[in-house]
Amino acid sequence: MTKDLSKRTRAVHAGTRRSQYGEVSEAIFLTQGFVYDSAEAAEARFIEAGPDEFIYARYGNPTVAMFEERIASLEGAEDAFATASGMAAVSGALTSMLRAGDHVVSSRALFGSCLYVLEEVLTRYGVEVTFVDGTDLAQWEAAIRPGTKAVFFESLSNPTLQVIDIAAVSALAHKAGATVLVDNVFATPVWSDAIAQGADVVIYSATKHIDGQGRALGGVILGTREFIRKTVEPYLKHTGGSMSPFTAWVMLKGLETMDLRVRAQTANATAIAKALQDHPKLRRIIYPGHPDHAQHDLVKRQMREGGTVLSVDLHGGKEAAFRFLNAISVGVISNNLGDAKTIMTHPATTTHQRLPEDQKEALGITPGLVRISIGIEHEDDLIADILAALDQA
């Protein structure tokens, strides 16, 4: 019924399953197990469970199924598997499809835990990983070889907001027969059509824009029915990374308002980027939606809008960045993003603290860099707050 509807309408209605009570708001089926009418019915369900038949919450649950169907509908994916966190989704997607001897090519600009999985975990089990500068197509082309099993990247990198060309990298990967997995958190489900652009598997940390209100950890893997049910599900249901029904309910309610929130956050970010242009305290401002962004044409083509996060690099390094952060009053200092509240992070001393100095430098994580996840507060209040804090910096 929801096939021809817009994303925004699907985010409110797709996947809804009503119980015999006809509830308006989705029910939380906070149950571990399910009762069978007979021993024969239990046997039959273990042979093959129907679409409305469940066995155990680690395998599936009606509330979790609603969330999976809703996000799959939004993304134009055949199917989805919901996970306990974004990292359960990233590690589950990769580990379920890879084995010793496989080759993976990944962009180097990654969320710290993603880098850990690729650099430390997969290699421990005999997977070879080649890292490239994801914005340089020649490096992808040189690194991908016949038999490369998977290509992994964050479509919009953290915290320097570089954009990776999903269509171009996917074309190179598919020529070699590789599966393309995209961590799409920063692009958001609202501004991205990664599957239509060529990605085979899309991964979200639902902790970010999908919840959007700072409450629960969650994640989701989207792809073909074959990949989700034959590769991902057996691995995750037996290794324990499934989403809880309560979390699925939080995420379902989050999806209902995600489009409104992300549009408001994006409008705020656009206004703030404009207000900060040529500010004397800033070495640079990085916002993908700003015409000065080095990849602005690609942003327009791939995402339409610049998203909800911007980064500023202050003259005066760490001391200036800390003075700025400590003078902020509306925003909060924390390391999450995609929240209704404006959140500020100093990557060099927190999320990216463990990176060696040369790698920080190569990734553009300078001592003066502050990442700002823009919330839904009134833009005038945010601009006044940031300008006043810059005066203190």
Ligand X SMILES: *Cc1c(COP(=O)(O)O)cnc(C)c1O
Please state, in angstroms and as integers, the Cα–Cα distance from residue 100 to each residue in 52, 126, 129, 171, following that order.
Answer: 37, 4, 11, 25
The minimum distance between CB 215 and ligand X, in angstroms, equals 12
Residue 241 near residue 55, CB atoms below 8 Å:
no
Residue 375 near residue 341, CB atoms below 8 Å:
yes
How far apart CA 341 and CA 97 sit, in angstroms, is: 37
Cβ proximity to ligand X, 106 vs 385, nearer residue: 106
Cβ proximity to ligand X, 87 vs 393, nearer residue: 87
Angle at 199 between CA 198 and CA 200, to 5 degrees: 115
The minimum distance between CB 269 and ligand X, in angstroms, equals 16
CA-closest candidate to residue 249, choices 64, 8, 73: 64
The minimum distance between CB 283 and ligand X, in angstroms, equals 24
Q: Which two tokens stand for residue 361?
A: 């430098």
> Which positions lie near ligand X, rule CB under 6 A?
85-87, 90, 111, 113-114, 154, 158, 183, 185, 205, 207-208, 217, 219
Cβ proximity to ligand X, 87 vs 178, nearer residue: 87
Cβ proximity to ligand X, 155 vs 366, nearer residue: 155
The minimum distance between CB 26 and ligand X, in angstroms, equals 21
Cβ proximity to ligand X, 207 vs 244, nearer residue: 207
CA-closest candidate to residue 178, choices 240, 114, 103: 103
Q: In the complex, which residue's CB is closest to ligand X? A: 86
State the amino acid at position 378 in one-letter form. Answer: H
The minimum distance between CB 311 and ligand X, in angstroms, equals 14
The minimum distance between CB 157 and ligand X, in angstroms, equals 8
Torsion over CA of 85, 87, 91 and 93, rounded to 10 degrees?
60
First to last CA, the chain: 54
Cβ proximity to ligand X, 345 vs 366, nearer residue: 345
- Residues 6 or more apart in contact with residue 246 via CB below 8 angstroms: 28, 30, 63, 216
The minimum distance between CB 205 and ligand X, in angstroms, equals 3
Cβ proximity to ligand X, 202 vs 298, nearer residue: 202
